[in-house]
Homo-oligomer: A and B are copies of this chain.
């Protein structure tokens, strides 16, 4: 079982900002090539699931790691509070519509995991329902992996309470960021202990594939970590450009 309060939110001591920045550049260049190959060969799909507390840096990560790729091969889907129509279906209905087809990279900014996180912290579902949802999520992720050759990468951006609080305050002061501010954010941040517990249960119960817990207090390390993980996953697919189609 993960103990989030024992896991660092700062980069490991061996990591160095300048070296990482150089490495990121090379990784993003390789990612660009790999994405082109993924798109051309259309044998696999990549689903990136991003989770983290408010201001943990999900938006910035999307921009910095996925923002230089061909936009025709990448989609980003944010998931907010479900609509009435969505709530009238099973909780995976709205998610399933947005899974990537072969050839595509799909990034989920929040995801089906909110249905076993925010809902539990606020007592909207009980433990038995949560247990059933874990099982449903595992079935769903297996479906994607086995039936559409989808590689799933799950990242939890781990920031300290102090860093989060600092970032939320910045939102009120920067005119370019005010629109991101939500009066509710501070209330949610105050529920940190409960959220951490629910995240720990997610990591333990939905672990195929297992989660990347990304030390995210420093943006440069977070970016480096995720870019490396994505590149390694795509590299492992051993893809090739298709030959000319005979029609």
Contact residues of A with B, CB < 8 Å?
36, 40-41, 59, 62-63, 66-72, 74-76, 78, 107, 109, 172, 175-176, 178-184, 241-247
Chain B residues positioned under 8 Å from A74 (CB to CB): 71
User: In whole angstroms, how far apart are the Cα atoms of A247 and B63 in the complex?
Assistant: 28
- Say what secondary structure dominates the interface of chain A: mixed
**B178/A241 in contact, CB under 8 A:** yes
| Complex Cα gap A62–B179 (Å) | 28
- In the complex, how many angstroms separate the beta carbon of A40 from the nearest chain B beta carbon? 4
Residue from B178, B183, B184 in contact with A242 in the complex, judged by beta carbons closer than 8 Å = B178
Q: What 5 A-B pairs are tightest by C-beta distance, nearest first? A: A40-B179, A183-B247, A179-B242, A72-B76, A63-B70
In the bound assembly, the distance between CA atoms of A69 and B63 in angstroms comes to 8
B172 touches A244 (CB 8 A): yes
Q: How far is the CA of A76 from the CA of B70 in the complex (A)?
A: 10
Interface contact A66-B59, CB-CB below 8 Å = no
Question: Would A68 and B68 count as touching, CB distance under 8 A?
Answer: yes
Instruction: Give Cα distance in the complex from A76 to B76, angstroms.
Output: 11
- In the assembled complex, the CB of A42 is this many whole angstroms from the nearest CB of chain B, namely 8
User: Smallest distance from the beta carbon of A46 to chain B beta carbons, Å?
Assistant: 14
A78: chain B residues within 8 A (beta carbon): 72
A41: min CB distance to chain B, Å: 7
30 CB contacts below 8 A, A to B, read: A36-B176, A40-B179, A40-B180, A41-B179, A59-B72, A62-B70, A62-B72, A63-B70, A63-B72, A66-B71, A67-B69, A67-B70, A71-B71, A71-B76, A71-B107, A72-B76, A72-B109, A75-B75, A176-B241, A178-B241, A178-B243, A178-B244, A179-B241, A179-B242, A179-B245, A181-B244, A182-B245, A183-B246, A183-B247, A184-B247
Q: How far is the CA of A180 from the CA of B39 in the complex (A)?
A: 11
* Chain B nearest CB, measured from A20 CB (Å): 22
